[in-house]
Chain A
Amino acid sequence: MDMQTLYLLVPLAPLAGAILAGLFGKQIGRAGAHTVTILGVAIAFVLSVIIFQDVQAGNTFNGSVYTWMEAGGLKFEVGFLIDKLTVMMMLVVTFVSLMVHIYTIGYMHEDPGYQRFFSYISLFTFSMLMLVMSNNFVQLFFGWEAVGLVSYLLIGFWYTKPTAIYANLKAFLVNRVGDFGFLLGIGLVAAYAGSLDYFEVFEKRHELAAMTEAVTGWPLITAICISLFIGAMGKSAQVPLHIWLPDSMEGPTPISALIHAATMVTAGIFMVTRMSPLFELSDTALSFVLVIGATTALFMGFLGIIQNDIKRVVAYSTLSQLGYMTVALGVSAYSVAVFHLMTHAFFKALLFLGAGSVIMGCHHNQDIRYMGGLRKYMPITWITSLLGSLALIGFPFLSGFYSKDSIIEVVHFSHLWGSGYAYFAVVAGVFITAFYSFRMYFLVFHGEERYDQNPDAHHADAHADDHGDHAHDDHGHDDHGHGGKPHESPWVVTLPLVLLAIPSVIIGYIAIEPMLFGDWFGTAVYIDAAKHPGLAELDKVFHGAAAMAIHGLQTLPFWLAISGVAVAWFFYLKAPHIPAAIKKAVGPIYTLLDNKYYFDRFNEVVVMAGSRALGRGLWKAGDQTVIDGLLVNGAARTVGAIAKLTRLIQTGHLYFYAFAMIFGVFALLTYVYVVWLRRFVL
């Protein structure tokens, strides 16, 4: 088989699995469904590894598969661009997807929508692969929207749960706001570059940089980059379009790991990296990216501190980490952003799947206030979650350390407008990250066992009995009975945890040097080193992965992380009364955080209610009153009114007509006599 067939097979294998499991789920049964989908994704993973080796050997590919459409001098194609950036994303996507597929066997094993779930996650894998493998803007947008669709389907997987079907609609619409910007960006590219192929557009980038947008007068390249980035803000959940991501936790946990942590939400980061030749030409756009990223990194971290739902803690942590990646993009350290994307994919998928394992072990309780001491009952989940948490807070030698420390350093070297704020945000964010991560870790795995204190537990179970298993974020009932002791999860769940823990620990150490400093990405990532020397500066101070970690022990971020862990330990294990006291002391701040800075309230009150009021106003006042009432029915009424008048004359009585005739003749004669005869004859 030649390589091009392999490229095609990578997305098609999961698609085939999705179709089989989706359309013939009943025929092939549960085992059949998970076999075909896992097989499809496994094929995609193995082929990705083969392609990775081929790309390592120096082979890249850029070509079309078929012409989707031609119009207006533009070619709309479906095609692949296979380079280092693509192949790295392919590996991450297929590997995490494979882990999640295996995990799902355990997690969803009692759910009535088992086949449907496998079909969706395989369809997601297909869409995500099409997105990252694209060589043009059209297919990028296809993948972009397709992952959004699958996300919609999966957040609303338990379609009878009111919060889930609210969350999935919200996710779709908020993403559409981002897509709105994204589409305009694509429109500008098409209009001014006259092509939608990445490389053809990149070749014209200097011409584009010299132009201004004809109607608005904006510098064109800035307008393009900011429009595209608005798309990234939707997909990668940057402030203020982040609001959908915490709510997306209403979906089953495996997809929170796959879609809402490891892969889909990083599509925006990937896209900006792919567009680096364009972004490099606009410092305005980069500053915009930087400030949005920094705000997300810091302020979403704060929200993680006060969450009690285990999945929501991890969700806010994801938002914050996506902010870190965006910051790296803003300072032109694209490879660092992608590096953090990769390490984050592993340790965050691990943390989510670990959280899912905890939820299973605790009989579908998600509230960390009613966990505690689980390390005794769930040793594998405990160890792997600890490793994931350490990686997340950037503990030296673990993967997160290398990527996050690189971001902090490279921001430090930047002179872009907003980089001072960003540096503060990412450094302060280290403490916050450590604090909320270990708050959760200590509350879940250490301390007093509180699993039997949940006042809602029995109520929740009764609810589940009423409405079937799928109404809850869990696999339903298990044989241990309600409120029983926590228990470790089956091997299909713990195996992915272990397999994800390995890269979470070692991948940073292995990959930092080639990915960041070896020009490994080649032409896939472009940096204008003269204007944005951050990464080059970082290269100068880098003396190997081991040295970096040892040096890391003496730096501020490390001690901030340690103090974050220490404070969390003190607050939640040693002196549990302190958090409550602080909460009381800083009441208004707590209220602000508890309301998530009022973004949701603003949307409900202003955007949603406003739209409905506007719609009703236009409908009642515009359509019904003015157009129909005044014009259409008004015209009909006028005709009716005139007819009513004339009807008075049509009496049908002969004497009336005779009288009218005589009167008419008389009037006419008078007129003739008075006016006409007098003037002209007499």
Chain B
Amino acid sequence: MNSSLLSLAIWTPIIGALVVLMTGNDRNAHLARPIALISAIVAFLVTIPLYTGFDTAVAGMQFVELYNWIPRFNINYHLGVDGISVLFILLNSFITIFVVLAAWQVIDTKVAQYLAAFLAMSGLINGIFSSLDGVLFYVFFEASLIPMYIIIGIWGGPNRVYAAFKFFLYTLLGSLLMLIALIYLFMASNGSFNILDWHELKIGMGPQSYLFFAFLIAFAVKVPMWPVHTWLPDAHVEAPTGGSVVLAAIALKLGAYGFLRFSLPIAPDASQYFAPLMITLSLIAVIYIGFVALVQQDMKKLVAYSSISHMGFVTLGFFIFNQLGIEGALVQMISHGFVSGAMFLCIGVLYDRLHSRQIADYGGVVNVMPKFAAFFLLFSMANSGLPATSGFVGEFMVILGAVKYNFWIGFAAATTLIVGAAYTLWMYKRVVFGEITNPHVAEMSDINSREFLILGILAIAVLAMGLYPYPFTDVMHASVDNLLKHVAVSKL
């Protein structure tokens, strides 16, 4: 039985984007904004049945759609979600609403184009999370680069061209290797681009290793893992607030998702064999990047590095091969979507007022923006992994899983408790607490009702997930169990 919910999730925002584009130039910005907002909200609403109608007992794909696309090469328009991917579609559609809202009074040039780019990207990313056909996946994966490239290149900061190129080339390089891997799998499976078919393929250790590294390079750049992470701080610094939000909250999840959809099930033996390497890289991300984050002068860079460090937890969780690890990593990804999104929105709120991201330009913000300070503290605490916020849940699960796997790995991962709190709260202290340091800060006004709404809803999401994560993990169990069983069986 074909359902069309996933197609709706993909095409609603893209059609919305086209409508927004039709409003034309900035004289019609007052039209573009509400249309974009309505599109984003509708696009989120159509994803809700994906959760409410989701059968948590089923490990396989649900809401499957299958149509011929290019029969000559057996390429299909094949969509479906399982417990691993479904939440990301909701997260992505949810975050898009805030990106549109955050741009409301801030972006005033090429408004329609800006909003359309985000809506289109939202649809394309939903496509990535729901594609079950290799080529379809690749098309969405590559296509989603374009809006982000445009967003950074046009609405970005002074060094935007360097950042946009770095972002584009870095990620393109990785995905070209993936294309080769996809073609290899097409050959090996006697002409199938169905990802689920590939999961069942018997592949020797040699080809598995090549496939693993081809996917690794593609996904490691996206995550990003150390040492291919240096595009992210630059991209964040130059991107407009909305760009940073999508980048951190959603785009980073694509690479991590790829590991679960491709690397682990297609090359389980290679994944196990190279797990020590992956764990080492993940721990370097957690610790090394944690210390780098500590000394950043630029708030956006700091949060960008913090994102890399948090994503280290995700890849760590994947490669310790237990349920706590993988589910913890998935929870961490969703939580990071809320928290990093909120952190970048908070920095955006400050930037809109003072046009600086330098920590040194602030100080004593709480005196003039008490409401903002309260929200910012909540998100900072979530970023430091405080219990009862969403940031705690994933970290806690991954650390428990890691201790179970190997005490010293758990030990190394748990240092984030100290380092993560140090870089986040030290920044908070220098920006928010203290006497007002300069007359510019004194003139800052507290958040308006639009900003209050954005941060308020995200705050509720962060707290709700922290206080009751049960519904999130409940969705994942069957699929994650299935994946673990699958990975445990050798394909040699």
Contacts and interface: CB of A to CB of B under 8 A. Distances in A.
A186 B366 CA distance: 36
Given A69-B469, A141-B387, A183 B414 contact: yes
B400 interface: yes
A467 B435 contact: yes
Nearest to B404: A191
B435 A160 contact: yes
B473 A183 contact: no
Given A180-B415, A618-B291, A622-B288, A74 B324 contact: yes
Interface residues of B, number: 61
A622 B469 CA distance: 37
A326 B288 CA distance: 36
B403 A184 contact: yes
B323 A73 contact: yes
Interface in B414-444: 414-415, 417-419, 421-422, 425-426, 429, 432-435
15 contacts: A68-B470, A70-B470, A71-B327, A142-B387, A159-B434, A160-B364, A184-B403, A187-B400, A190-B403, A215-B407, A215-B408, A618-B288, A618-B292, A623-B292, A628-B230
A8 B358 CA distance: 46
Contacts of B429: 165, 169
Interface string A611-631: 110111011001100011001
Contact of B421 (A176, A183, A611): A176
A631 B227 CA distance: 10
Given A145-B387, A611-B291, A616-B295, A72 B415 contact: no
Given A162-B434, A165-B429, A627-B230, A216 B399 contact: no
A172 interface: yes
A608 to B, nearest CB: 9
Contacts of A636: 169
A146 interface: yes
Contacts of A216: 407-408
A457 interface: no
A177 interface: yes
A632 interface: yes
A72 B327 contact: yes
A618 B408 CA distance: 22
A619 B291 CA distance: 8
A618 B288 CA distance: 7
Contacts of A378: none
Contact of A190 (B230, B400, B418): B400
Contacts of A616: 295
A190 B231 CA distance: 38
A156 interface: yes
B467 to A, nearest CB: 8
Contacts of B272: none
A69 B433 contact: no
Interface in A223-247: none
Given A142-B387, A215-B408, A615-B292, 7 more contacts: A146-B387, A159-B432, A160-B433, A165-B433, A215-B406, A632-B166, A632-B231
A615 B386 contact: no
B404 A69 contact: no
B324 A612 contact: no
B399 A187 contact: yes
A647 B226 CA distance: 35
Interface of A: 66-74, 141-142, 145-146, 149, 156, 159-160, 162, 165, 169, 172-173, 176-177, 179-180, 183-184, 186-188, 190-191, 213-216, 467, 611-612, 614-616, 618-619, 622-623, 627-628, 631-632, 636
A618 B387 CA distance: 30
B441 to A, nearest CB: 12
A186 B400 contact: yes
B323 A67 contact: no
Contacts of B468: 66, 68
B288 A72 contact: no
A52 B124 CA distance: 60
| Most chain B beta-carbon neighbours within 10 Å: one of A70, A176, A627 | A176
Interface string B397-414: 101111110111011001
B425 A69 contact: no
Contacts of B367: 160
Binding site secondary structure of chain A: helix
Contacts of A73: 323
Nearest to B165: A636
A621 to B, nearest CB: 11
Contacts of A186: 400
Contacts of A172: 421, 425
Contacts of A623: 230, 292
Contacts of B327: 71-72
Given A165-B433, A173-B418, A180-B418, A70 B230 contact: no
A71 B324 contact: yes
A187 B404 contact: yes
A156 B410 CA distance: 32
Contacts of A146: 387-388
A187 B410 contact: yes
B23 interface: no
B393 interface: yes
Contacts of B399: 183-184, 187
Nearest to A218: B407
B356 interface: no
Nearest to A622: B288
B152 to A, nearest CB: 17
B403 A188 contact: yes
Contact of A149 (B170, B293, B381, B408): B381
B156 interface: no
B102 to A, nearest CB: 24
A146 B392 CA distance: 12
Nearest to A181: B414
Contacts of A614: 291
Nearest to A156: B433
Contacts of A159: 366, 432-434
B235 interface: no
A66 B467 CA distance: 11
A612 B387 contact: no
B425 A169 contact: yes
Contacts of B117: none
A72 B400 contact: yes
A624 B185 CA distance: 37
B393 A165 contact: no
Contacts of A628: 230
A145 B433 contact: no
Interface in B365-390: 366-367, 381, 386-388
B426 to A, nearest CB: 7
B435 A176 contact: no
Nearest to B422: A173
Contacts of B467: 68
Contact of A619 (B231, B292, B418): B292
Nearest to A148: B386
Nearest to B231: A632
B292 A165 contact: no
The 7 closest A-B pairs by CB, nearest first: A187-B403, A72-B324, A615-B291, A191-B404, A615-B295, A72-B323, A165-B433
Nearest to A69: B469
Interface in B66-80: none
A614 B287 CA distance: 11
A124 to B, nearest CB: 14
A180 B323 contact: no
Interface string B155-196: 000000000001001100000000000000000000000000
Contacts of A160: 364, 367, 433-435
Contacts of B323: 71-73
Contacts of A184: 399, 403, 407, 410-411, 414
A213 B407 contact: yes
A315 to B, nearest CB: 22
A632 B473 contact: no
| Most chain A beta-carbon neighbours within 10 Å: one of B291, B364, B397, B410 | B291
Contacts of A619: 292, 295-296
